Structure 1
Amino acid sequence: MSDAPTHSIAARLARRILLYASACALLIGGVQTLHLSQEVRQRFSQSIEAAGLTHVPLLSVAVWDIEPDTIRRQLHQLASQHAIGHVRLVTDVGRVFEAGDPDARDFTEARRFDVPNPTLQGEPIGTLEIVADTRAFYRELATTIGVGLLGYAVLTLLMCGLVLVALRRELGPLRHIAEFVKTLSPERLTTPLTVDRGPRHQRDEIDLVVEGFEILQRGIDSHIRNLDHQVAARTHDLEAALASIRTLSTTDTLTGCFNRRLFDERIADEVERADRYGRPLSIVFADADHFKRINDTWGHNAGDEVLRAFSASLKAQVRDHIDWVVRYGGEEFVIVLPETTLDRARALAERIRVVVESEPLTIDDRPIRLTASFGVAQYAPGEALADWIDRADKWLYLAKEQGRNRVCG
């Protein structure tokens, strides 16, 4: 980048603007406009306040005496005033009276007055809402400030014309830069930007823009070379992290079965599907018998091995991608069996019971005989989800009460 001195475009434009126009006139006009706007708004507010306070006592008597015609006359008289667009009276018994311009029925900024009970102080019998006539407000505001701004209009137009001449003369190269940027596409990002300033121009901000654009183009060109690789790498890392999070959030780490959280999320979908298509749906509660005794006798590591082996026996007997096994809590598991009747679910539970009983475990060269109890229940159409699960759980406890190592349901 060149070290030649830089001359400010803003400074040159400021000298020309100060030469052709008077900023003070615009400032005074703006202040006067703001003042007039506040004055008109205050005048409208005072008119609405006075009208409301005048008519509230009359409306109070009319509402108390239940004289709808009198109320309507009062509201029409009130709505006919210059500053008012629409009025509404809501009585304490729910009756609504309205008058005025229907287009002005915006009560979000309405001035509200309580209509008091003429016999009991402090107990309002209705609410009067008055909406300002915005069109009248703006007409009056326009008329008021129009006179004040008329004197500045000629000067403003003249100043703008002179500024436009100066901008067209000074900012021509910027328009060229803008057109160049507008036509940029991914294929043309590295196309050089050239601006012809003539042989006698002084170096200014436009030259700085052109030089900065050249630096930016070189940086973009370098960055693009590595961007695809970085995106691919980060996408791979993100997908792996999300997959790990999904697995951790839905899987029991000890047994590899689904966890209670996933069961609570998915079982409602299974019930909805069974209701919609009229298909059978069953669950099997499975519980390792005397698991606490195993833990107390052989230790918790042996207990963990028993749970892994027990869950493996359950998963080995179910259908892939159809049935699913959940560690419900402790040594208790649930097998969800879509498209399965009660008889077929009992048969599956009996098959698992026989496999568990007939395959003793060996942990640290010591045999451990394991049995399991099962409670089976088929979903009844329209049955509450909690009631269905409770039935299966009760069948499981009945199996334990009858001596364990059996299927009930």
Structure 2
Amino acid sequence: MSAPLFRPIATTLIRSVFLWATLCALAIGSIQAAYSYIHVQDRFELAVREIGQTNVPLLSVSIWDIEPEAIRRQLEVIAARPEIGYVSLTVTTGQTFSAGDKGLTNDRPRRFDIPPPGRPVGVIGNLEIFENPAAFYRELIYTLGIASLGYGVLTLLICILIAYLLKRDLERPLRRVAQFASELTPNRLTIPLELARSPGHGRDEIDLVVEGFSVLQSGINSHIANLDEQVAQRTAELESALAAIHRLSTIDPLTGCFNRRLFNERIQEELDRAIRYQRALAVIFCDIDHFKRINDTCGHLLGDQVLQEAAECFRRELRGHIDWVARYGGEEFVIVLPETSLPAAIATAERLRLALTESMVALLPGLTVTASFGVTQHVPGETVQELLQRADNQLYAAKAAGRNQTLPRL
């Protein structure tokens, strides 16, 4: 037995509404809309042309007298007009002035040549005025709105007709579908959706919804058997994705060190912990000496390898799970030493300095790579910013004193 012919309910409604609405409103509305559009467009273009012609003499004097501020004020006055969206002035000397919303530019500006003051011949600038489509359409909508009041009664009749048709052919069946969906629980998945339709109504979208519920119920029943396994798989995938996202947001991709963002968060935690338990906290600033020269003479690829080797050297020499290092920016690293006094931190920095130079020998034969270190220890009452600033000052002093050294000295 063949399936009933599909007849969309929207087509039935559109045909019914079209017979009533089109005959009454389409002809009048189309004529009125076309007339209003042309009338508003002509009036709008005339207003823009008058604005340009009125301001050309004033701009001519300002350009001739070389008064940029006066030019900008005049352009702002032009752009403030509701008909204008954006205005641009190009002087023959190459200067460009503009005002308004640049996003309103289009390929059909109104152009005006600006002659010298009192001279009909010659051009000292070009003025481009872009209309404001929003103002144009506001005026057009206002005009059409006034005209629409003339056939409001017709619109009301059409709305009543549409409401009747929707209530009869759409609202009642959909209410039954909504009621069925609201009552659908796990123990009712096997109960089919049944609708009382009038005989000979034809097969339409409502019937498709009923069939869709049937397919959905069958799919849910078959899916429940392995739902727990799928949930576990999705959870593992989500955790893996979150871990990858967290790593990308906290780890410097070149060196594998913590990045500046994580450093700014974690250093405050380290300081709070040191204050709470009255423990020492030291910070070391490190800067690779003459790194720009390395990039310029050996190439950026080798420069990246220098940074990677420096980070790896620091990780080898530091205490695992206690000390940590972050790439502060460019060739600069910052090393945090919890529970470390200033003398111990200075000794650590000096050890790092020597180890760094030795580890670079194999990477850059014939070229000595050194680094400067600035060390400081937190003192009571000092903020994170003050602690870092003192360490940075020590680093700056080490570089100023000839580089390849640690300050302060023991």
Which one has the largest radius of gyration? Answer: 1
